């Protein structure tokens, strides 16, 4: 038995420690520990409920907009306040652009170097890589000339002997087996992705007034002034700018990112066998289509025990089953007490011990849904949509299955999606869906404005008695919910149950492990001192442990560490 | 650099405003905005804790001034200036403690893609404490004005238009009001009107 401790896990947002016990080349037991204090909600108590979103969007530096929007939705839910259709579409466009940005960065900049060995790129035949690429996609960036340029850059980097940020990669690892040509192709897209990450940011900036930290949110709607006759407001000119950015972004998502997730799956099909873990899935409905939020472009629902045939739908945000089902268990987290409390009654009183695997070992609470650990994220989103017959999810999932079988000949099924590779593929599928939806919600907004509707805000009125609400969002990393209790217009309690809390959950009172922990069981580990395969499965969830302290360190302490005990 | 100075300049503050001295970057850029007036090509941004999302602000910029809390072997409140080589050299190991894939990774990616900034300067302060909701330490507040003036000097030295306002516009330090300040320990300084201390 070999004990491996990875602290911190690199190429994620924030601090995460993973401990695994390895025997016979695979993981037998695993623990996930968030090593940064997570109790930022306490800062919201006593604050004006109308300004909670301003603070909430500082929970995390990466998902700022998602917390802003979940926060205003929670207060609107408590007030039973409708928001105008324009406000729904503007929020939806911000959420779609943010998600596309996030998914692109996750795939190329946070994950792909677990699969792509850049040190083989100098050996690639660029002409052959271009021909290969031509068979997969119409993307113009795959020309021989462009690939040769990338190859020259990588040769220069390797020739300089200073790999810099690339020096910590597990190059030459036996689990890396792409051809030099495929490595070149993926890495060329890694560099191109930087341009498209920017474009997605521009959409958020135009609509949100500023990015990061949007300025246009309000309890009751958005603060975007709409006037087609004014130069300073949302007008046809600005709508046209938005449209052209979205139209630039779509080909990259559909012809490069989506195709690359299919190619990765076709190249590493063995990874459909690993990383299943918790086969309970939760997705919440999002992208409302009307002011009253009665119908949605992304369906919500629950799947239990890997039983894909039966989806329990979550039809809308006022779903009583959802409200009654969620509780957070602190038995193994560094908070006072044991057992679970519903979020509205949740407490966040720190009780730090050391890492004690049989007792408390993380800052992350253990959220449970009717007592079950749940996996959230693009995979939950895609499985719920696919199994409930949602046409857009079917369109892109089937397209992915067809693509993979055309490249590799293998037939992928929804059952196979419950895996490490399934999570990467689901994120690509979801991004393709969102790029369709970006254009659709732009059209909805434009058409609504052209009818003469320029309202974006309904004034909230706060009663003196206590009210409570929940704000949901199907965020890039999965189901997010903010739970608020408000009295006389101020928060008396605030709890954010974030996607990474679901996925990085520790064991609960009954000793049942969370999704990261269970997904690692039976994960292969060829070389314990280079646990690349563990990183593949952990990265497949897109961990974000943020809401953490961010400072630079010039003191020269050793940073990334893998300890084999 | 042309006679008229660089074409695109970003002054960006990094840090979490909810975590004590970690909010140095946002505090300094907001004070800079209130005391100085710059050419329109200068973007002044509080970026929070952007991780890899910093890339768009470094992309093709001629000059980036990055303001952040820095762990260095010096007393809390010490102002430290670094250049890009310091950030990337193994010897200094100037790095992020929490958002691992941040400035260094974005810089390296952009350099490789041919879109890196022409020059990067880091204006840092050594924090005393980065606790939740505890406001900014007195020694760090005292350094803020030095940092603000240093940014102005960095810009003027490079022929970038930047001049002191006749009367400072009030800084928007929304995160340092209300119960956030009320809860702060007694050794924490008031930063409600940091500008008037110098004026």
Closest residue in chain A to residue B66, using alpha carbons only: A552
Angstroms from A505 CA to nearest CA on chain B: 20
**Any chain B CB within 8 A of the CB of A35?**
no
Model pLDDT, residue A555: 45
Whole-angstrom distance, CA of residue A515 vs CA of residue A369: 13
Determine the Cα–Cα distance for residues A53 and A59; give it in Å rounded to an integer: 10
**A321 min Cα distance to partner chain B (Å):** 34
Task: Give yes or no for residue A369 having a pLDDT over 60.
Answer: yes
Residues shown for chain A: 565
Q: How far does the CA of residue A73 sit from the closest CA of chain B (Å)? A: 22
Q: Do A109 and B101 touch (CB under 8 A)?
A: yes
Whole-number pLDDT of residue A153: 93
Q: Do A549 and B179 touch (CB under 8 A)?
A: no
Kindly state the tokens that stand for B149.
């003036």
Nearest chain B Cα to A152, which residue? Answer: B112
Task: Give the pairing of strands A544-545 and A13-14.
Answer: parallel
Cβ contacts of A198 on chain B, cutoff 8 Å = 55-56, 59
> Cα–Cα distances in Å, from A443 out to A232, A371, A438?
21, 42, 9
Mutation test of the interface with chain B: which of A198, A550, A553, A559, choosing the one with the most B Cβ atoms within 10 A?
A550
Task: Classify the phi-psi angles of B63: left when phi > 0, otherwise alpha if psi is within -120 to 50, otherwise beta.
Answer: beta
Task: Tell me whether A212 touches chain B (CB under 8 Å).
Answer: yes
A50 interfaces chain B, CB cutoff of 8 Å: no
What CATH number is given to the structural domain containing A133? 1.10.645.10
The ipTM assigned to this model is 0.80
pLDDT tens digits, one per residue of B80-137? 998 888 777 654 444 444 444 578 888 888 999 999 999 999 999 988 987 777 789 9
Integer-rounded Cα radius of gyration of chain B: 16
A to B CB pairs, distance under 8 Å: 180
Give the closest-approach CA distance of A322 to chain B in angstroms.
31
Q: Choose the closest CB to A556 out of B55, B93, B179.
A: B93
Domain ranges of chain B: 9-182
Report the candidate in A210, A247, A263, A260 with the shortest Cα–Cα distance to residue A406.
Answer: A263
Q: State the smallest CA–CA distance between residue B170 and chain A in angstroms.
A: 18
pLDDT in tens, A218-243: 999 999 999 888 888 889 999 999 99
Using CB atoms, which residue from A14, A109, A556 is nearest to B52?
A: A109
> Cα–Cα distance between A346 and A333 in angstroms, integer?
13
Residue in chain B closest to A211 (alpha carbons) equals B47
How many domains does the structure of chain A reveal?
A: 1
Tokens of A300: 């919500």
pLDDT for B195 equals 36
Task: For residue range A382-395, list pLDDT tens digits in order.
Answer: 999 999 999 999 99
Report CB contact under 8 Å: B88, A548: no
Question: CB–CB of B147/B78 below 8 Å?
Answer: no
Least confident of A261-275, A339-353, B124-138: B124-138
A213–B contact, CB cutoff 8 A: yes
- CB burial of residue B169 (10 Å; 0-12, 13-18, 19+): exposed
- Residue A199's contacts (CB-CB under 8 Å, 6 or more residues apart) are A245, A248, A249
CA atoms within 13 A on the CB side of B81: 12
Cα–Cα–Cα angle for A72, A541, B53, nearest 5°? 60
Residues from chain A contacting residue B91 (CB–CB below 8 Å): 556
Nearest to A11 among B86, B101, B175 (CB): B101
pLDDT at A210: 84
CB contact under 8 A, B100 and A8: yes
Interface test with A, best of B10, B12, B24, B53 (most A CBs within 10 A): B53
Window 59-78 of A: residues touching B by CB (8 A cutoff) are 60-62, 64
Q: Considering the domain B9-182 in this protein, what is its CATH number?
A: 3.40.50.1450
Chain B residues with beta carbon closer than 8 angstroms to that of A191:
109, 112-113
pLDDT tens for chain B, residues 1 to 199: 444 566 899 999 998 888 888 889 999 999 999 999 999 999 999 998 888 888 889 999 999 999 998 877 789 999 999 888 877 765 444 444 444 457 888 888 899 999 999 999 999 998 898 777 778 999 999 999 999 999 999 999 999 999 999 998 888 888 886 433 333 343 444 444 333 333 2
Out of B47, B99, B127, closest to residue A14 by CB: B99
Binary contact (B51, A554; C-beta < 8 A): no
Residue A496: domain span: 2-564
Asked whether residue A549 carries a pLDDT value surpassing 80, the answer given is no
């Amino acid at each position: 038995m070999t004990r491996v401790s990875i602290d911190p896990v690199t190429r994620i947002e924030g601090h995460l420690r993973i401990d695994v016990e390895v025997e016979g080349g695979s993981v037998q037991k695993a623990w996930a520990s968030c090593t940064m204090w997570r109790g930022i909600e306490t800062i919201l108590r006593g604050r004006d409920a109308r300004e909670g979103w301003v603070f909430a969007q500082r929970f995390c530096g990466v998902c700022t907009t998602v917390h802003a929007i979940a926060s205003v939705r929670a207060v609107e839910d408590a007030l039973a306040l409708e928001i105008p259709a324009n406000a729904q579409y503007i929020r939806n466009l911000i959420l779609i652009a943010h998600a596309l940005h996030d998914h692109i960065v996750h795939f190329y900049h946070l994950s792909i170097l677990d699969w792509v060995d850049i040190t083989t790129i100098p050996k690639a035949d660029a002409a052959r890589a271009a021909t290969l690429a031509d068979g997969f996609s119409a993307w113009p960036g795959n020309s021989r000339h462009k690939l040769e340029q990338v190859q020259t850059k990588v040769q220069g980097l390797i020739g300089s002997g200073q790999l810099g940020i690339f020096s910590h990669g597990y190059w030459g690892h036996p689990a890396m087996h792409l051809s030099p040509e495929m490595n070149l192709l993926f890495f060329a897209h890694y560099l191109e992705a930087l341009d498209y990450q920017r474009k997605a940011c521009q959409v958020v900036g135009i609509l949100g007034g500023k990015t990061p930290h949007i300025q246009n949110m309000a309890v009751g709607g958005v603060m975007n002034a709409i006037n087609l006759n004014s130069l300073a407001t949302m007008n046809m000119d600005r709508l046209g700018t938005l449209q052209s950015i979205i139209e630039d972004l779509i080909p990259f998502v559909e012809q490069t990112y989506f195709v690359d997730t299919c190619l990765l799956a076709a190249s590493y099909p063995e990874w459909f066998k690993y990383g299943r873990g918790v086969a309970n899935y939760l997705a919440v409905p999002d992208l409302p289509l009307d002011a009253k939020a009665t119908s949605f472009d992304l369906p919500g629902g629950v799947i239990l025990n890997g039983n894909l045939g039966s989806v329990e739908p979550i039809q809308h945000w006022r779903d009583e089953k959802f409200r009654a089902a969620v509780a957070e268990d602190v038995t193994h987290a560094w908070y006072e007490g044991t057992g679970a409390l519903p979020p509205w009654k949740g407490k966040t009183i720190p009780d730090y011990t050391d890492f004690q695997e049989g007792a408390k070992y993380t800052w992350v609470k253990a959220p449970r849904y009717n007592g079950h650990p749940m996996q959230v994220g693009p995979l939950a989103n895609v499985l719920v949509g696919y199994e409930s017959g949602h046409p857009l999810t079917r369109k892109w999932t089937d397209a992915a299955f067809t693509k993979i079988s055309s490249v590799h000949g293998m037939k992928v099924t929804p059952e196979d999606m419950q895996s490490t590779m399934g999570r990467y593929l689901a994120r690509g599928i979801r991004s393709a869906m969102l790029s369709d939806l970006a254009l659709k919600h732009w059209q909805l907004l434009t058409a609504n404005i052209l009818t003469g509707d320029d309202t974006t805000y309904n004034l909230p009125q706060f009663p003196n008695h206590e009210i409570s609400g929940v704000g949901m969002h199907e965020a890039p990393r999965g189901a997010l919910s903010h739970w608020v209790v408000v009295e006389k217009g101020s928060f008396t309690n605030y709890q954010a149950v974030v996607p990474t809390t679901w996925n990085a959950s520790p064991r609960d009172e009954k000793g049942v492990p969370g999704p990261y922990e269970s997904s690692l069981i039976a994960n292969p580990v060829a070389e314990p001192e280079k646990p690349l395969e563990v990183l593949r499965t952990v990265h497949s969830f897109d961990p974000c442990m943020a809401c953490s302290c961010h400072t630079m360190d010039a003191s020269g302490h050793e940073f990334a560490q893998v300890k084999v005990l | 650099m042309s006679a008229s100075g660089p074409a695109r300049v970003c002054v960006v503050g990094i840090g979490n405003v909810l975590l004590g001295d970690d909010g140095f970057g946002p505090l300094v850029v907001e004070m800079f905005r209130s005391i100085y007036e710059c050419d329109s090509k200068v973007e002044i941004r509080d970026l929070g804790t952007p991780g890899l999302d910093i890339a768009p602000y470094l992309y093709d910029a001629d000059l980036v001034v990055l303001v952040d809390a820095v762990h260095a072997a010096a007393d809390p409140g010490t102002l430290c200036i670094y250049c890009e080589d310091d950030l990337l050299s193994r010897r200094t190991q100037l790095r992020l403690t929490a958002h691992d894939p941040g400035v260094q990774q974005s810089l390296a990616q952009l350099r490789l893609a041919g879109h890196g900034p022409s020059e990067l300067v880091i204006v840092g302060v050594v924090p005393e404490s980065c606790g939740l909701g505890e406001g900014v330490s007195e020694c760090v507040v005292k350094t803020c004005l030095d940092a603000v003036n240093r940014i102005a000097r960095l810009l003027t030295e490079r022929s970038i238009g930047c001049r002191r306002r006749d009367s400072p516009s009030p800084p928007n330090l929304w995160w340092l009001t209300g119960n956030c300040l009320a809860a702060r320990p007694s050794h924490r300084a008031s930063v409600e009107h940091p500008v008037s201390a110098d004026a």
